[in-house]
Amino acid sequence: MVVADERSPRDGKFIEIIGHYNPLTEPTSFVVDEEKALKWLKTGAQPTETAARLLSKAGVMEKFKPAAKKKVQTAKPKKKKSKAGAKAESTAEESSS
């Protein structure tokens, strides 16, 4: 399992090796460096469907999801007064003067 630029060919240059998978052994063997995998996921790497499935079996995606689910609190937009409400306030102010 490698980290590669999406523009690279499938068998082309890669950035880093993060693990290996051998389906021919009994049972199948899959070794992944969780620290490297999490680092790349946190920096925005998008795993293929197969890589995501393998990372899920290894427990990496579960460790990544809680970090991804942290909600960033954003300011709620202020409610705009409707034109009718604004006119009512301005006529109320004018009549009180």
Domain positions in the chain are 2-96
Q: Quick check: pTM over 0.95? A: no
> What is the rounded average pLDDT for all residues in the chain?
78
CA separation for the pair 57, 30 (Å, rounded): 9
Question: Is the pLDDT at 24 greater than 70, yes or no?
Answer: yes
Owner of token pair 């705009």: 80
pLDDT at 33: 92
Closest CA to 66 of 91, 41, 84: 41
pLDDT at 5: 84
Pairing of the two strands 19-22 and 2-3: unpaired
Q: Output the DSSP codes for 39-80.
A: HHHHTT----HHHHHHHHHHTHHHHHHHHHHPPPP-PPPPPP
User: What kind of fold does domain 2-96 have according to CATH?
Assistant: S16 Ribosomal Protein; Chain: A; (3.30.1320)
- Name beta bridge partners: 21: 30
The answer to which of 20-34, 43-57, 63-77, 82-96 has the lowest mean pLDDT is 82-96
pLDDT at 9: 80
User: Looking at residues 25-45, what average pLDDT do you find?
Assistant: 90
Q: What percent of the chain has pLDDT over 70?
A: 67
pLDDT at 14: 86
